[in-house]
Amino acid sequence: MDETEIAVIGAGPHGLGATERLRAAGREVAVIGEPMSFWHTMPKGLWMRSRRNGSSIGDVTGPLSMEGYTESTQAVVERHLSLETFIEYGLWYQQRVASDVIRRQVVQLARAGRGFVLTFNDGTHLRASRVLVATGIAEFTRRPAMLRQLPTELASHVADHGDYERFRGKSIAIIGAGQSALESAALMHEGGADVEVLARHPQVHWLHGDGLIDGLGRFAPLFYAPTDVGPIGISRLVATPEVFRRFPRPIFDVIAARAIRPAGASWLKPRLPDVPITAGAVVTSATPHHDQIDLQLSNGSSRRVDHLLFATGYDVDIRRYPFLDRTLAEQVRCVDGYPVLKRGLESSVPRLHFLGAPAARSFGPVMRFVAGSWFSSKAIVKTVAAQDRGRSARRASRSAAAA
Ligand SMILES: Cc1cc2nc3c(=O)[nH]c(=O)nc-3n(C[C@H](O)[C@H](O)[C@H](O)COP(=O)(O)OP(=O)(O)OC[C@H]3O[C@@H](n4cnc5c(N)ncnc54)[C@H](O)[C@@H]3O)c2cc1C
């Protein structure tokens, strides 16, 4: 059976960022997964919500940052990035740090002695002393009971669509008030669909535009972190995950929720003047009617549409990772589906780490974004080195005691 010191499951921004740091620190790393695969599933025509700096994998500056990419490739990258540009950057990054990526699926991760055994979809195995799970949120789509009970031709989750071509000429109601709902509405409207957004909240929020940050001039970095998560002020708090994680839980939760409350990027607003947005309306019932669907809303109104699209986001629950051995999953201490992580994003199972969105309950909302890869990669390298030093020191003191 093949062996490695560290197995990184996932070749998205978090897995690649950690691989780069660990290898730079001289660690033996095997990285597994289809590079940037999650981003390929997103609808064509999408733009990144985070700005250029907040879309760097790992460090915000340096040769592998978005800045380094534009310098090295002469690619023209505006302050806001298209999905295609980000994928190109991710693959460029992967070529530089993990050209040996193992393009296989992990079908099982189980504990074996002091380490772990990974089983691949071709039946082969890999033994690893340490495992980093960086497999993203694709398994976590939030599908309310109403969606699950409706036929797929009439209702779906945004994650089910790589493009919205099939909705041309159709009437669509979109449930949600975040970037995903609003950007889907814009893309569908521009693609010739008749769209309405139905938002549960009494008001749809818009993120501040570049003007506000630019207006702060040279003081901008004091109030707005390059991670680009959260409003001015809060952005700074959540950009220090090691400090933020020590906040009392109620304060942590309030700030985290505020940092990622459903909102649309300011550049989306001008694309939606002809799209009705009905705020404060909950769909109370959805009933198929031939090849359409009848909706009753909490405000007493009703609609008949061709399709109901749920932009209802994702609920992290690591037990939904299909490859996680059940016994191992039970050993990972979790709260609300999130693993409780300590320094270095390590779970209650020694040498098993979780990166990306599953780390958000312990280290804050930045972990849900590409920008969080800057922190997770550094934190893991530090912890691995500290644990090695601890082991060497214990070994030395045992030898001294025996002598
Ligand atoms: C529509 C949409 C728009 C978004 N826009 C932004 C944005 O603008 N900015 C931002 O920062 N974030 C954005 N996000 C959030 C985004 O999902 C995360 O920032 C990002 O994907 C985190 O990277 P990751 O490495 O944790 O996960 P992913 O990018 O999802 O990578 C997961 C990796 O794991 C691999 N994998 C999964 N399961 C297995 C397995 N069993 N075996 C082997 N490999 C496996 C996959 O192949 C993939 O390589 C957006 C999300 C959505 C849904």
Residues 130 and 160 in one domain: no
Q: Is residue 331 part of a domain?
A: yes
Q: Is residue 161 part of a domain?
A: yes
Whether residue 9 has its Cβ less than 6 Å from ligand 1: yes
Alpha carbon distance 307, 164 (integer Å): 12
Alpha carbon distance 226, 55 (integer Å): 9
Residues 286 and 390 in one domain: no
DSSP, res 43? P
Of 291, 310, 329, the residue that ends a domain is 310
Whether residue 32 has its Cβ less than 6 Å from ligand 1: yes
Question: What is the side-by-side order of every strand in the sheet holding 302-305?
Answer: 283-289, 292-297, 302-305
List, in order, residues 6 or more apart from 82 with CB less than 8 Å away: 46, 47, 48
Distance 155 CA to ligand 1 centre (A): 24
Q: pLDDT per residue over 250-272, tens digit each?
A: 999 999 999 999 999 989 999 99
Band (3; pLDDT cuts 50, 70, 90): very high
Whether residue 370 has its Cβ less than 6 Å from ligand 1: yes
Band (223; pLDDT cuts 50, 70, 90): confident
Residues 330 and 275 in one domain: no
Q: Is residue 213 part of a domain?
A: no
Total count of domains within the chain: 2
β-pairing, 115-120 vs 106-112, is antiparallel
Residues 282 and 155 in one domain: yes
Whether residue 13 has its Cβ less than 6 Å from ligand 1: yes
Distance 158 CA to ligand 1 centre (A): 15
Residues 97 and 118 in one domain: yes
Q: What is the CATH number of the domain that holds 367?
A: 3.50.50.60
Q: pLDDT per residue over 86-102, tens digit each?
A: 999 999 999 999 999 99
Residues 115 and 10 in one domain: yes
Q: pLDDT per residue over 110-152, tens digit each?
A: 999 999 999 999 999 999 999 999 999 999 999 999 999 999 9
Whether residue 15 has its Cβ less than 6 Å from ligand 1: yes
CA-nearest residue, atom 23 of ligand 1:
13
Pocket test for ligand 1, best of 77, 184, 370, 373 (most atoms within 8 A of CB): 370
Q: Is residue 369 part of a domain?
A: yes
Q: Which atom of ligand 1 is nearest to the CA of 43?
A: 1
Of 275, 290, 310, the residue that ends a domain is 310
Residues 176 and 266 in one domain: yes
Q: Is residue 392 part of a domain?
A: yes
List, in order, residues 6 or more apart from 19 with CB less than 8 Å away: 8, 29, 31, 97, 98
Residues 330 and 372 in one domain: yes
Beta bridge pairs of residue 305 = 293
Residues 27 and 127 in one domain: yes
Q: What's the rounded mean pLDDT across residues 379-399?
A: 87
The distance from CA 358 to its chain's CA centroid, rounded to whole angstroms, is 9
Alpha carbon distance 14, 12 (integer Å): 6
The distance from CA 311 to its chain's CA centroid, rounded to whole angstroms, is 15
Whether residue 193 has its Cβ less than 6 Å from ligand 1: no
Of the candidate ranges 14-18, 32-36, 123-127, 213-217, the one whose mean pLDDT is the lowest? 213-217
Q: Which atom of ligand 1 is nearest to the CA of 135?
A: 34
Residues 9 and 121 in one domain: yes
Whether residue 266 has its Cβ less than 6 Å from ligand 1: no
Residues 200 and 323 in one domain: no
Q: Which atom of ligand 1 is nearest to the CA of 137?
A: 30
Q: Does residue 285 register a pLDDT over 80? A: yes
Q: Is residue 303 part of a domain?
A: yes
Q: Which DSSP string do the residues of 296-325 spell out, in sequence order?
A: EETTS-EEEESEEEE---B---GGG-TTB-
Of 310, 345, 369, the residue that ends a domain is 310
Residues 111 and 175 in one domain: no
Band (12; pLDDT cuts 50, 70, 90): very high
Distance 36 CA to ligand 1 centre (A): 7
pTM across the whole model: 0.94
Q: Which domain holds residue 303?
A: 145-205+262-310
Beta bridge pairs of residue 173 = 196, 308
CA-nearest residue, atom 12 of ligand 1:
369
Q: Is residue 257 part of a domain?
A: no
CA-nearest residue, atom 35 of ligand 1:
10
Q: Which DSSP string do the residues of 162-216 spell out, in sequence order?
A: S--GGGTT-EEEEE--SHHHHHHHHHHHHTT-EEEEEESSSS--B---HHHHHHT
Whether residue 48 has its Cβ less than 6 Å from ligand 1: yes
Q: Is residue 223 part of a domain?
A: no
